[in-house]
Structure formats: C-alpha cells, structure tokens
Amino acid sequence: MGVSKEPLRCNRVAGYRAPGNVLNPASVGRQKDDLAISQPVGENHLSRRVHGDRFAVGSCWGLKLSHAPEGWIVSLVACICRSHDVEDKNCSGSALVLATGALLWGSLTVAATGTTDTRLDRLAPEHRALALRMVGFMDRADQKYFARAQALNGGVALTGPEDTLSRETDDSIYSVRVTRGPIVEKLGRLVAEGKKTQPGRREGVLVWSRFYSIDVHPKTPLVGMLHATLVLQFYEDGSGFAGGWLGVMNGTRVAADMQLLTKVVDTQFANYGRSPAVYRGLMVKGTEDTIAAFRRQPDPSGVSFYGPPVFPGDVARSYELIEGLFEQFTDAYLDLIPRRTGVTVSATDLAGQEAMRKRWLVDQLYSDPFASKLVPFEVWSLANVPPTVSF
C-alpha cells in the first residue's frame, strides 16, 4: 500500500464524514499534556486519551486505499499526533501516525460503519439505503446521548478502560460503551452486528442486521431506568424486520411524567395513522419466550415492537416510525432527570429504586431471551445493568 503526500479526498475521518481535500499536516497547539487542534478538517475532529497518551485527530496524510473519479478515497483513517511528538505547535511529517478509525473511534462511537460493511452489497438498493440510514442514526444517537449525559452530569464523564468492550461470538459482533457520573449514574450503549440468524430466532438466512440500545440509570429514584432499543434485519429471501423496545422501569412512579411519555408515543403513532394499543400490550405482557415470574415490570407508557409490523409489507415505513419514536421517547425521558433531580425523596422512594434495579438484573438473568441465552454476560451486564444492585 503506497503512501503519497498529495492532498487526498477523505469521505470518513475517524467515523465522521469530511468531504473535500484534506489539509496536511494538521496544525495543533499544546497546553501541558493536552493537544488543541487549531486546523481541523471542518468541525470533524476529536481527541482521545489512549493508554495515558493524548492523541489528536488531524488530517489524513497520503494513505491511498481506493480510487474514484473525484480522487483517492480514504475510509476510516485518521492521522494522529502523540502529545510528546508535538513541537512548535505543528506535527511534522515524521511525527504523524496513521491509524484506522477503530483505534480512536471504537470507544467513542458506533464501531461498525456502512463504509466497511461488505454485507451491504448483498442487499437490494432500497434495503441498503435503509441500512445506511440506521448506521447514520446510530452515529448521531451516540454523539447526542453521551453528550447529553455529560451535560446532565455537569460536564463530568467518569469513564475508564473497563467501560468499553468488544466481543465476537459465532453469530454476532458486540460493541459496548458506558459513561458514568453523579446525576446520570450510568448510561450504557450496545451495538450488535448480526453475522447469522441466532438460535431460536426467526427462520431464514440473515444478510444484514443491527441492534442498538441505550440504557440510562439516573441517581434520583423519582425517574426510573430507561431501556430503549432499535432493531433492523434483512434476510436472503428479501424480507426484513424493523423492531425495538421503548420503556421505563419505575421505582417510584410519577404519574405526570409517565403521562408525558404516553403522549409522546400517542402523538407519533397518530402522525402515522396507527394505534399503539397492540404495542403497549406487548410492552406489558412480553413475548412468548419471556418468563413472567422473573420479568421486568415496565410502565405502560412505553411500547414494544417485538410483534406484528406496524406497516405490514413496508419495512421502511415501520422503521421510520420506530426510529423517530426512539429519539422522541429518549429525549423526553432525559428531560425528566433535571426536573426531578434535587427533589426530596423518601426511604420508600429509595427502596423502590433498589427493588426495581434488582428486578432488572433478575430479568436479564432468567427472563429476557437474549440476555439469558444468547448475549454474553460481560456484554449485557456492562451495557444495561444498574451501577449498583442491592440484595
């Protein structure tokens, strides 16, 4: 693979789209042991501490991966400078280090991106467009919700090496990222890339699949935990499935807050000329392979899309409704946290939160068909288990 110092046209830089010719080198400034990028590629830059060193993403530096009519295309490649290599506020050519986006971005955003996904080529054009839409949504949701958690936590993001995890099994590739703090005690994100149909799941040969989930555990017992999921799958026979689960598990139930979430759901369904009744029933009841005695106890304000399609025969329309509701429901839920934080709570409130958190763990161990049978313990426990569980 050759290296050239000519300007290259990058379509991805560490997971972000960066059109146009990329400058080289990136100009950076140093403040103590940190780096500040003064000449990023547009606004698409970031920094990340890795094994004690702080890296700054600058411009792509002559790595030729593929060629297109508009020029060389560099995918998921970033040039980085180690802080101790920076002199006179410029990275010299010898100080630049080429790295794949996974080195920096794997712990910052969604691991699997559309530009590296060969399974996309096996999809019909309309399904490929929908898959790429979900990839873009996951990227955006990661940025939005981790930033929101950090803001709610007063700018604090208590994370360590143990708060990111990647695992691969025979049927899936998993990526987990967690952030922690004093107000949002834990927010966990899980991405699962399906490799083949999982045992006991739907019949058919899986071509492309993604599962995305956000779990939020506030410190205040007046706001329950959020479990929000989004699923999109396509099969060799040309069929597809769009699903998800949006719900809150309460300790203390604040009726006004749950009514607000109910209205969010009702409005989204009404906008599409549909009723949420069936999907609220699924939320409360669960699927046929859940074990009721150990199941979580979700509030009926939410909905489960693990059932009949919202729009039979129209995966794109079903996905559109679910994706939109995922964002609307999660946004409305997160707005509850600052509203209830600081409000005086009772011993009963705290006991209710402890019971709810324990019930969630029991659900994952014994009732949820994915966590209890398919997803590795270290994956789901990092992604969604409360920060503390009392027995």
Tell me the per-residue pLDDT of 304-324, one tens digit each, with 9 for 90 and over: 999 999 999 999 999 999 999
Whole-number pLDDT of residue 173: 96
Name the DSSP class of 162: G
Mention every residue, 6+ apart, whose C-beta is less than 8 A from residue 266. Answer: 276
Q: Give the pLDDT of residue 288.
A: 77
Burial 69-85 (b: 16+ CB within 10 A, else e): eeebbbbbbbbbbbbeb
| Three-state DSSP class for residue 99 | strand
3-state secondary structure 181-231: CCCEEEEEEEEEEECCCCCCCCCCCEEEEEEEEEEEEECCCCCCEEEEEEE
Q: Kind and range of the H or E element at 360?
A: helix 347-362
For the CA atoms of 25, 31, 32, 37, the dihedral, rounded to the nearest 10 degrees, stands at: -30
- What's the full length of the chain, in residues? 391
Q: How far is CA 104 from the centre of its chain?
A: 16
Query: How far is it, in rounded angstroms, from Cα 161 to Cα 376?
Result: 19
CA–CA separation, 99 vs 76, rounded Å? 9
User: pLDDT by residue (tens digit) across 185-206?
Assistant: 999 999 999 998 876 566 789 9
- For residue 195, what are its two tokens? 């490799």
How confident is the model at residue 87, as a pLDDT?
Answer: 30
Q: What confidence category does residue 116 fall into, taking pLDDT thresholds of 50, 70 and 90?
A: low
Cβ neighbors of 329 (< 8 A, separation 6 or more) are 228, 246, 261, 264, 265, 302
User: What b/e readout covers 163-183, taking b as 16+ CB neighbours within 10 angstroms?
Assistant: bbbeeeeebbebbbbbbbbeb
Phi and psi dihedrals of 359, rounded to 5? Answer: -60, -35
45: tokens are 């830059």
Domains assigned to the chain: 9-105 (no CATH), 114-384 (3.40.1500.10)
Separation CA 107–CA 163 (nearest Å): 9
Q: 344: alpha, beta or left, given left = phi > 0 and alpha = psi -120 to 50?
A: beta
Gyration radius from the chain CA atoms? 22
What is the distance in angstroms between the CA of the first residue and the CA of the last residue of the chain? 57
Rounded to two decimals, the pTM is 0.72
For residue 120, give the DSSP letter.
G
Look at residue 272 in the predicted model and tell me its pLDDT: 98
Residue 64 has pLDDT above 80, yes or no: no
DSSP-derived pairing of the beta strands 303-304 and 9-10:
unpaired
User: What's the pLDDT tens digit per position in 143-167?
Assistant: 999 999 999 999 988 888 899 999 9
Q: Which residue has the higher pLDDT, 58 or 379?
A: 379
Range with the lowest mean pLDDT among 62-76, 114-128, 149-163, 295-309?
62-76
Mean pLDDT along residues 276-292: 88
- What is the arithmetic mean of pLDDT over 349-377? 93
Is 127 in contact with 234 (CB distance < 8 Å)?
Answer: yes
| pLDDT at 25 exceeding the cut of 60 | no
